Amino acid sequence: MAINNTPGGRRALPTLGDDPLTPTRRSASHKMTDLEQLVQDEMRRKQIIGKSKALLMAIERAIRVAPSDTGVLITGENGTGKENLARIIHDNSSRRTKKYVTVNCGALPEGTINSELFGHKKGSFTSADTDHAGFFEKADGGTIFLDEVADLPLPIQVLLLRVIEYGEFYRMGETTPRKTNVRIIAATNRDMRRAVEEGKFREDLFYRLAGVQIKLPALRERSEDIRPLFDHFVDRYVNSTGTKAPRLAPDALSALERYRWPGNVRELLNLVNELCSMEAGNLITVERLRVSLPDLEGPKVPVPIGSEAHYDYNQEREIIFHFIKQLHDEVDELKEMIEAVGSSEPPHVSTRLDELQRQPHRLTMSSLDGATVHYDDIAVQDFPADDMPQDLGHATEVRHEEVAHHDADIRGGIKPLDELKRRSIEEALNEFDGNRRKAAEALGISERTLYRKIKQYGLE
């Protein structure tokens, strides 16, 4: 589609093939030269500073897709200039003389978002004193830019989908549809595919909006643009105020180029304005930068999704193996004690690492400073073999009881453990008149364990 002489003396866009992002094969090199010139013109017009490949590619894609009415989804972090890219698309389209309407979807109150986007009829709700035209009606024939589109509630997403598919909408309180002819450019700083997977954004709407996707790079991904941007913002400030420009020390510039810039270009602009107002004519050192950017030398960089965390488990592994060995020794001691009193064959207690990984056990550790510690239902979770041993298990219920060793008890014989447990639970329940919560607290176990023991010993 060729666009010839445009209003306002604007240069014509290069003729593109059927695919709005692919130049025609004929004289492709000449058209690329024209496209590169258009990129530079738009950067000057919008005061976009930079020479990084990712930035230039994003602007080039915006200009290529501009002549069509294809939906465009612009992605990028806050402060990367998504609205500038949307304006480039509109200004280079056939709708450039029509209205351009910007809507911050994240700032619309949830109770009025339907009315703001699609309008309402007088009397449709309490404060509807007059008829109201929504953004889609106002933008008819032009372009509507939906910033932070991922913040739209699901019910509104359904209405937006109808506008895209059929070009019609309903004002609140009306039953007759209205028509609109708009080109939609959307933008978001979120991962839209993840939002779709989580059910927070409609998949069909996502594909309708994202006819072409353009990603704007974060400032940390274009470190070569830090110095040109810094100088540009300084010149703009100095020209408007007449103050002297601050100067960057070489190590200060290197520190800025290594900084993560979570606020992107907007954060850099704020820094320059502060330095120009507080340090006019002074040399800016790393120490001075650190006053404004506390994380300058040590930014907290999040672990990228899908990457492996690097953690040294050696110390933790040694502790776990020591614990397993201690358990093994205590189990052997327990078996000897049971055999010494003529008990029947003790129940199997696994001490093998692979079995400990998969099976719940009841283990008892004794002779710890005169106290007996019972580990009830130690549940060892199943972990992948590659990660073993990260966390072989955790004791969910721990009970400490003081054990008095009296000669009279020895002369009277040793009672079976189950009988002692049953008697302790029965006495606790009697002491608190059947109040299981208080009984559990007195016994040092959880209510869940107490309920299970009551059922086991027939104390219901």
Average pLDDT taken over every residue of the chain: 78
Q: How confident is the model at residue 338 (pLDDT cuts 50, 70, 90)?
A: low
Average pLDDT in the 59-71 region? 95
pLDDT of 318 reads 55
Q: How confident is the model at residue 332 (pLDDT cuts 50, 70, 90)?
A: low
Q: How confident is the model at residue 454 (pLDDT cuts 50, 70, 90)?
A: confident
* Most confident by average pLDDT, 21-30, 220-229, 382-391: 220-229
In angstroms, the CA 43 to CA 248 distance is 25
Residue 37: pLDDT above 60? Answer: yes
pLDDT over 70 for what percent of the chain?
67
In angstroms, the CA 182 to CA 198 distance is 29
Residue 162: pLDDT above 50? Answer: yes
What confidence tens digit (pLDDT) does each residue in 343-392 have? 444 445 444 544 444 444 444 444 334 444 444 443 434 444 444 444 43
Average pLDDT in the 230-236 region? 96
Find the range with the poorest average confidence among 101-105, 345-349, 403-407: 403-407
**Dihedral (Cα; 236, 240, 244, 246), 10-degree rounding:** -30
The DSSP 8-state label assigned to residue 16 in this structure reads: B
Neighbours of 50 (CB within 10 A): 21
Q: Please say whether the beta carbons of 349 and 363 come within 8 A.
A: yes
Residue 154: pLDDT above 80? Answer: yes
What confidence tens digit (pLDDT) does each residue in 71-95 have? 999 999 999 999 999 999 999 999 9
Q: Give the contacts of 236 (CB within 8 A, at least 6 positions apart).
A: none
Residue 192: pLDDT above 60? Answer: yes
CATH 3.40.50.300 fits 220-292, yes or no: no
pLDDT of 383 reads 40
Break the chain down into helix, strand, coil percent, rounded to 5. 45, 15, 40
CA 141 to chain centre: 36
Residue 336: pLDDT above 80? Answer: no
pLDDT of 390 reads 41
Name the CATH superfamily housing domain 7-217.
Answer: P-loop containing nucleotide triphosphate hydrolases (3.40.50.300)
Q: What is the DSSP string of 28-53?
A: HHHHHHHHHHHHHHHHHHTT-----H
Give the dihedral sign, CA 94/99/105/111: negative
Place of tokens 């009279």: 408
Average pLDDT in the 35-58 region? 93
In angstroms, the CA 147 to CA 450 distance is 57
Query: Could you tell me which residue, 237 or 444, shows the higher pLDDT?
Result: 237
Residue 152: pLDDT above 80? Answer: yes
Residue 430: both structure tokens together: 């009697």
Q: What are the residue ranges of CATH 1.10.8.60 in the chain? A: 220-292
The H-assigned helical ranges of 139-225 are: 154-166, 192-197, 203-209
pLDDT of 414 reads 57
Find the range with the poorest average confidence among 12-26, 112-126, 135-149, 313-327: 12-26
Phi, psi (degrees; rounded to nearest 5) at 261: 55, 65
Q: What are the residue ranges of CATH 3.40.50.300 in the chain? A: 7-217
Q: At what angle do helices 264-278 and 226-241 cross, to 10 degrees?
A: 50
Question: The whole model's pTM is what?
Answer: 0.59
Find the range with the poorest average confidence among 171-175, 291-295, 320-324, 426-430: 320-324
Q: Give the contacts of 36 (CB within 8 A, at least 6 positions apart).
A: 60
